Every structure is written in C-alpha cells, then in structure tokens.
Chain A
Amino acid sequence: DADVTQTPRNRITKTGKRIMLECSQTKGHDRMYWYRQDPGLGLRLIYYSFDVKDINKGEISDGYSVSRQAQAKFSLSLESAIPNQTALYFCATRGDYNSPLHFGNGTRLTVT
C-alpha cells in the first residue's frame, strides 16, 4: 500500500461546483502539505499543517480551504471551482524540516 494516498486520482467538474480532494498517510508524520503543479511551473504550496490544530496558508491559498481531520488525514476543498484551478494536485508529508517530502500520486483536476 502507498504511504500517501490521494483520492480521487482524476476528477472532472464544472465551474461553480464544490469539490473535495482527500489525502491519507500511514507514515505517522505530523507535517502535511497540499501543492499544485502546473505545466512549466514549480510546485506551489497551497496549505500546510503541522498538527491537527495547526493550519497555515501557503503562497496560493485563495479559493481553497483545508481540513485536518486527524493526524493521518488532510483534505483540500475548492468551494466554487473555476477553470484556472485545473491542475495536478499533490499531497505530501514530512517527518521534520530536514527530511524529504513524501508525495502521493496526485489528483488530476479539470474544471470545465
């Protein structure tokens, strides 16, 4: 089983719809992250969480919200999807600042 699991793997939705992307991990890490990947750009941080009671905005948080339901679960929501949110979304975990990020296999989201 994958250490970091993202669902769904692919999603097509319409403008204005609410959508949730889910992430669960079995690595026991406290730090969890949501990134967005667009062609020709580096991954950009949307939100991050260092424990269940800690939620922080990243560089591109507008239009997104998150929920840390448990140490192992971190979900990303788009309250009202728009076409420029079409992208590949990655969840990642990390043990500490000097440890590597462990990524899920991504969710490809298309907003029409």
Chain B
Amino acid sequence: KNQVEQSPQSLIILEGKNCTLQCNYTVSPFSNLRWYKQDTGRGPVSLTIMTFSENTKSNGRYTATLDADTKQSSLHITASQLSDSASYICVVSANTGGFKTIFGAGTRLFVKA
C-alpha cells in the first residue's frame, strides 16, 4: 500500500534554532518527492522537489534530503524564524501508468520567540 508517514506530528522550537522533520514512504514506483509549507488558513506551497537521483536540495534556509534506498526524506530548517510556524507536508508521487500523488499528514511546527 502506498503510504507517506511524517514525524513528529508537532514540534515546538525557539526562534533561531534548527530543526529536522522526517518523512518515510512506501510509494512505488517512485517518481518524485516534494515538501510543501502550509500556513494557517492558506493552501500548501511547494518548497522543494527531489527526484530519484538527487539526495540534497536547498531553498534558502530549507534543505531537503532524500535516501531512495531507505525511502526516507528529511527537511532541515536552519536558524528558524517566527514565520516558519506552519505545517510541513511531504508529498510523494508515483508513476503507476496513471500518476498518483500521496500526501503525508504533515508536521505542525511552532516557532516561539
């Protein structure tokens, strides 16, 4: 069964600290993995995309990693800011003849001053 599991469910950190969010998936055949940021009251917005051959990609203070062998990804946030408070959703796409997109439940991040 195609699944995407994220951990932790929620996380509280102090402003300026770093954090790492985890995503494990069982989606097959793997096509790509995206991390989305969802602010409260808004729709998700794409942060990064990773394909099978990529193992690190950065977008400003966000760095995503992918280990296709263990089917794990992480999103590392450096020097957190109050505006990083949001849900972060891992989304994995499979190319099954039709294209299937599976969403994780998200990690809710709270950055406190």
Contacts and interface: CB of A to CB of B under 8 A. Distances in A.
B104 A42 contact: yes
Contact of B43 (A40, A41, A103): A103
A87 interface: no
Contacts of B4: 42
B23 to A, nearest CB: 11
B45 A103 contact: yes
A98 B49 CA distance: 9
B103 A97 contact: no
Which of A44, A92, A103 is the most central at the interface, judged by chain B CB atoms within 10 Å of its CB? Answer: A103
Interface in B12-71: 31-32, 34, 36, 41-46, 49
Contacts of A101: 36, 44, 46, 91, 101
Interface residues of B, number: 24
The dominant DSSP class at the B interface is strand
A105 interface: yes
B89 interface: yes
A42 B43 contact: no
A90 B9 CA distance: 21
A42 B89 contact: yes
A5 to B, nearest CB: 11
A20 interface: no
A35 to B, nearest CB: 8
Nearest to A104: B43
B86 interface: no
A106 B87 CA distance: 15
B34 A42 contact: no
Interface of A: 4, 40-45, 90, 92, 97-98, 100-101, 103-106
30 contacts: A40-B9, A40-B105, A41-B105, A42-B4, A42-B102, A42-B105, A42-B106, A44-B103, A45-B101, A90-B43, A90-B44, A97-B31, A97-B93, A97-B95, A98-B32, A98-B49, A100-B34, A100-B46, A100-B49, A101-B36, A101-B44, A101-B91, A101-B101, A103-B43, A103-B44, A103-B45, A105-B41, A105-B42, A106-B41, A106-B42
